[in-house]
Chain A
């Protein structure tokens, strides 16, 4: 049982990493003049959409937290809406934090916002998939000794690492490479 869980987890994470790589490579065949650095805006879009869909599909397929009770359709809808609102709020929150950290306020708003969306897909969306719109559970997972299952600890590590990755991603900005938005989410693959 446990080993199977680990394998499934590994597969999910590998798929995630693969989707990021694919998001960087595949659109070059469809779109003209696409490159990760040249048209980073599109890349950010494509990447977040890819990861989001993959996460949702994985969630539906693997069902890591089987809820024992069957719920009504209306309940599901409200749950979904709640998830959407949470996701949007987290985007806004991330955006605010990035701006407070020194991103320009008016210029390159789209970059900032898309980056915030990307960060939220890596962190909030996974939380939503796993834990649902349940803040209490989130708080539990993100504190010491809080993670109960292997899925949750994986979630913990992934989200913290993506935030750390974003933080480290800010380091090369002052180096004169002339590429402003070099946030590479390599840490997510861990």
Chain B
């Protein structure tokens, strides 16, 4: 297999996953553009002049009816809770408890009324607050100059920071706690109301909701809670003045189990109760309470209070509240004017919205526009005929019909908006889910196939790639005929699905063919079955761990505690590996039949090595847990001290100490990497890359150290040095960026770190590409220069002895692939460390040590198990590698929640001015997915490492060597050249590794996607599952791209090595 098909195939698989993620995301998070504009009093949609003159002071757009308003929000106040049915003999715990509402509504029918309040899904409190307060989008009712006092649920604080005149926030998180918030509000409510220092008072009670979550609605606790609310309302009504409007609203309902978040009838029907001491309504209440959408509250309250309706409101005013005291005609005029204002505002919003976003269908907008303009035209005509407030009687029916036309316009506008803004798109979600699942399956099958059949890739790649565009073209044709707009996402997912079908179709065809071929031969059923069973059992361990990991995504507690789950599973996987090796008797050396009979067997020598490695590994895993960030769901958690930058340390001595330690760590890392390279002989040549490793690495470290020094002392009063510091803070990181990119470029240009010693005589040399040293001296291993001398001497002596064979000694050829990867990883690590806070370099060092130990364990286990298949990486290795990646995601101080993102990474090397959004996004992304990047790029090491370590196990020479005569020796010391010997298998192995990696990543992603889809009505979906899904899918994208890069880097090295060989032959 060639190199390009491998990369292409992997890229195609990645594309399949991306299409799936995109499709799911488009169904899960429908994007809606938020307009920043806000309404103001002087907007040109003012009512006609005759009415404007009569506006009382403090009014705006419409006459002010109330100067004050109290909004009592009782979380999860279901409509059934508020309804009172005196005929009921034995009410359920939640029925007939809010007697005060019924009492007010029956005794003062023109003052009070109960409504069925319809919430839009999703019925989570945060979304509902937004809907309640803004009439659609998060811009608060424009309360300029009004004093808004808030008490209750602290969700409001995050939504409207610093908007309140005074506020009393109480924590809303603990669902088990029924009373803290309510008691806190009650403590402040009446004093505040009596003090009069407010215009709008909002009180958000949480007890009912929490009680529903804890006990469910059908529970005595709920009765107690509702009775408490009843008492609260009763005394609140007594405290109100004549100029105050009281609104009691539930933000959503609840199901029979007390939950909410979805779109079932019980969840969306809440209660709204309106009351004032002055008459509000023109007539008595209807028999059955009216149903009104939640968004209608905002325009109504805004106009009643005489403030402008928020710019983005799409609600409709509740006209009956504007009836006033007058007769029917004046009431109708009043209502007409508020409808007019409302319609004008909605029209303005729709127009400006359709300018920036295209998600509202054009023809429907057109239709709405026609409705609006005809209604407005008639309105102006009508007003021209009306003089003052006296209306000619013949116009009265026209008034009514005009009102209903405005109503129709507003309702249709809202319907259009909600239709295109509906939160979830189940079809797309399911489609994305299926696409991801089938991609996973494809990965698994392809990785199995790649091992078995050689010519698989070309055929299996070619057909899907043909099928994909065909599918896309078909879709395009359909769209051309139906004249609909074309969505890039849909097209790509169609292409993905079609190409996948092509793959499976092709595979099935081949399978049938093969089955027919093998069917003619006598089947080896029993032996084959047993073997297969054993293979399945071998798979069971790592797959079981993967299964647990995926299962953990479905519980919010496990997602919250994932920082501890991942290391736990990782440690278990490694322990299981060792246990299994022991169980299979791989660790013991059977010593003759007699002793075996007695059960006496001694361990191999390697066992101690392996145990030490495992112990080291466990210690690393444990230590890495000291760098965790906290989530708000775990209140007793304290974030790690290492996360804060050094500049925040008060203690100067500690600061200096930590600084020195960090720099020492950096230097240690460089030293270790250089030592490793030197050990394998990759540090001898005078290529630019090697020179960079020798001199550029320390320079990078120096720059980082300088930057840290400057950054951590930036706050100190340095006086005139301040400007210098300002410059230095920018210059040093940029120098690191520059150096690192130079290094990466060099790596791409010439990745071969091989030093060739050519001792052939020019005349008559036989072309023997590479010949090593005669292998007797074991003592000069570590000092390469000495090797040169001795080698030259020995070769000379050999030549003198008459062996006229010419030699080329190549140093570091055996580890040329890994050397390139290690250099790339180190450079990346420098960049990523720069983006993190100083003390997280400990975590990065741990990451390197752990990865190193993991590779060694893998190699060691492989050597002990005596695997026949050298070219395939076992599943446990891939899974443990990925578990380590997610473990270090947490250990570099991250959490899958938005507040935990390290935003300051965007300003490393840049002042607070970014011209584009791309650069900070890349920086923050690199910071967040640091461990994903490192582990994905380093993934090919899993394949390479056993070859690299081959030599150190057999305790032989460092430089790779080969000769035509010493074939025996060749077998021993080929190291990574083994891979070059069989390029076909090498490519296949890389493909297989990539596919396995993608499969495991994809399985995790699939679990997240399914969790987000299935639990989309869960209480925690916007706090836990949705962010987790977003982080996981972004992590998938980053990882897969980095995996591709890592594999292409190995390919690039392979090309370069080939070129090097052919050059050598030519010479």
Query: What is the interface of chain A, defined by CB distance below 8 A to chain B?
Result: 97, 99-102, 136-137, 139-140, 142-144, 146, 148, 167, 170, 173-176
CB-defined contacts of A170 to chain B, threshold 8 Å:
568
Is B560's CB within 8 Å of the partner chain A?
yes
Contact of B599 (CB < 8 Å), options: A101, A136, A175: A136
Distance to closest chain A CB from B595 (angstroms)? 10
Given A143-B583, A143-B585, A174-B564, check contact A100 B557 (CB 8 Å): no
Given A102-B622, A167-B572, check contact A140 B561 (CB 8 Å): no
Distance to closest chain B CB from A16 (angstroms)? 24
Please determine whether B599 and A146 come into contact, CB atoms closer than 8 angstroms. yes
Please determine whether A174 and B560 come into contact, CB atoms closer than 8 angstroms. yes
Sample 16 A-B pairs with CB under 8 A, ordered by A number.
A100-B571, A102-B564, A102-B567, A102-B568, A102-B622, A137-B599, A139-B601, A140-B599, A142-B582, A143-B583, A144-B585, A146-B599, A148-B599, A167-B572, A170-B568, A174-B558
CB-defined contacts of A146 to chain B, threshold 8 Å:
599
Contact of B568 (CB < 8 Å), options: A101, A142, A143: A101
Q: With contacts A174-B561, A175-B557 known, what are 14 further pairs, Cβ within 8 A?
A: A97-B618, A100-B622, A102-B622, A102-B625, A136-B601, A140-B600, A143-B584, A143-B585, A143-B588, A144-B585, A167-B572, A170-B568, A174-B555, A175-B555
Please determine whether A100 and B619 come into contact, CB atoms closer than 8 angstroms. yes
CB-defined contacts of B583 to chain A, threshold 8 Å:
142-144
C-alpha spacing A86/B557, complex, angstroms: 39
Which residues of chain B in 549-606 are interfacial with respect to chain A, using CB atoms and an 8 Å cutoff?
A: 555, 557-558, 560-561, 564-565, 567-568, 571-572, 582-585, 588, 599-601, 603
C-alpha spacing A34/B619, complex, angstroms: 37
CB-defined contacts of A143 to chain B, threshold 8 Å:
582-585, 588
Please determine whether A176 and B601 come into contact, CB atoms closer than 8 angstroms. no
Contact of B618 (CB < 8 Å), options: A100, A137, A142, A173: A100
Contact of A174 (CB < 8 Å), options: B565, B582, B618: B565
Query: What is the interface of chain B, defined by CB distance below 8 A to chain A?
Result: 555, 557-558, 560-561, 564-565, 567-568, 571-572, 582-585, 588, 599-601, 603, 618-619, 621-622, 625
Of A100, A144, A146, A167, which is in contact with the most chain B CB atoms at under 10 Å from its CB? A100
Please determine whether A100 and B621 come into contact, CB atoms closer than 8 angstroms. yes
Q: Which 7 A-B pairs have the closest CB atoms?
A: A174-B561, A140-B599, A100-B618, A174-B557, A175-B557, A100-B622, A143-B585
Of B564, B599, B601, which is in contact with the most chain A CB atoms at under 10 Å from its CB? B599
Please determine whether A140 and B601 come into contact, CB atoms closer than 8 angstroms. yes
CB-defined contacts of B601 to chain A, threshold 8 Å:
136, 139-140
CB-defined contacts of B560 to chain A, threshold 8 Å:
174
Distance to closest chain A CB from B554 (angstroms)? 12
Chain A residues touching B, majority SS: loop
Distance to closest chain A CB from B580 (angstroms)? 10
Please determine whether A136 and B568 come into contact, CB atoms closer than 8 angstroms. no
Nearest CB to that of B617 among chain A residues?
A100
CB-defined contacts of B622 to chain A, threshold 8 Å:
99-102
Nearest CB to that of A175 among chain B residues?
B557
CB-defined contacts of B600 to chain A, threshold 8 Å:
136, 140
CB-defined contacts of B561 to chain A, threshold 8 Å:
173-174
C-alpha spacing A137/B600, complex, angstroms: 8
C-alpha spacing A144/B585, complex, angstroms: 7
Of A140, A142, A144, A174, which is in contact with the most chain B CB atoms at under 10 Å from its CB? A174
C-alpha spacing A175/B555, complex, angstroms: 9
C-alpha spacing A100/B624, complex, angstroms: 11
Distance to closest chain A CB from B638 (angstroms)? 12
Distance to closest chain A CB from B927 (angstroms)? 26
Distance to closest chain B CB from A137 (angstroms)? 7
CB-defined contacts of B625 to chain A, threshold 8 Å:
102
CB-defined contacts of B603 to chain A, threshold 8 Å:
139
C-alpha spacing A97/B579, complex, angstroms: 14
Of B558, B572, B588, B622, which is in contact with the most chain A CB atoms at under 10 Å from its CB? B622
Distance to closest chain A CB from B314 (angstroms)? 39
Distance to closest chain A CB from B766 (angstroms)? 53
C-alpha spacing A173/B619, complex, angstroms: 21
C-alpha spacing A167/B575, complex, angstroms: 12
CB-defined contacts of A176 to chain B, threshold 8 Å:
557
C-alpha spacing A99/B599, complex, angstroms: 33
Distance to closest chain B CB from A107 (angstroms)? 11
Distance to closest chain B CB from A17 (angstroms)? 26
CB-defined contacts of A174 to chain B, threshold 8 Å:
555, 557-558, 560-561, 564-565
Distance to closest chain B CB from A26 (angstroms)? 33
C-alpha spacing A142/B558, complex, angstroms: 33
C-alpha spacing A139/B603, complex, angstroms: 10
C-alpha spacing A174/B599, complex, angstroms: 43
Distance to closest chain B CB from A76 (angstroms)? 23
CB-defined contacts of B588 to chain A, threshold 8 Å:
139, 143
C-alpha spacing A143/B589, complex, angstroms: 13
C-alpha spacing A171/B543, complex, angstroms: 18
C-alpha spacing A97/B583, complex, angstroms: 20
Distance to closest chain A CB from B214 (angstroms)? 12
C-alpha spacing A24/B96, complex, angstroms: 47
C-alpha spacing A174/B569, complex, angstroms: 14
C-alpha spacing A170/B565, complex, angstroms: 10
Of B560, B561, B568, which is in contact with the most chain A CB atoms at under 10 Å from its CB? B568
Nearest CB to that of A103 among chain B residues?
B622
C-alpha spacing A40/B452, complex, angstroms: 55
CB-defined contacts of B565 to chain A, threshold 8 Å:
174
C-alpha spacing A61/B552, complex, angstroms: 46
Of A140, A143, A146, A175, which is in contact with the most chain B CB atoms at under 10 Å from its CB? A143
C-alpha spacing A140/B621, complex, angstroms: 30
Distance to closest chain A CB from B563 (angstroms)? 10
Nearest CB to that of B576 among chain A residues?
A167
Distance to closest chain B CB from A157 (angstroms)? 13
CB-defined contacts of B567 to chain A, threshold 8 Å:
102
CB-defined contacts of B555 to chain A, threshold 8 Å:
174-175
Nearest CB to that of B555 among chain A residues?
A175
CB-defined contacts of B568 to chain A, threshold 8 Å:
101-102, 170
CB-defined contacts of A100 to chain B, threshold 8 Å:
571, 618-619, 621-622
Distance to closest chain B CB from A145 (angstroms)? 8
C-alpha spacing A176/B557, complex, angstroms: 7
CB-defined contacts of A175 to chain B, threshold 8 Å:
555, 557-558
CB-defined contacts of B564 to chain A, threshold 8 Å:
102, 174
C-alpha spacing A109/B583, complex, angstroms: 32
Nearest CB to that of A97 among chain B residues?
B618
C-alpha spacing A3/B774, complex, angstroms: 67
CB-defined contacts of A144 to chain B, threshold 8 Å:
583-585
CB-defined contacts of A139 to chain B, threshold 8 Å:
588, 601, 603
Distance to closest chain B CB from A123 (angstroms)? 13
Nearest CB to that of B584 among chain A residues?
A144
C-alpha spacing A25/B533, complex, angstroms: 45
CB-defined contacts of B572 to chain A, threshold 8 Å:
167
CB-defined contacts of B621 to chain A, threshold 8 Å:
100
C-alpha spacing A122/B601, complex, angstroms: 26
Please determine whether B571 and A101 come into contact, CB atoms closer than 8 angstroms. yes
CB-defined contacts of A102 to chain B, threshold 8 Å:
564, 567-568, 622, 625
CB-defined contacts of A99 to chain B, threshold 8 Å:
622
C-alpha spacing A137/B599, complex, angstroms: 7
C-alpha spacing A143/B557, complex, angstroms: 37
Distance to closest chain A CB from B701 (angstroms)? 32
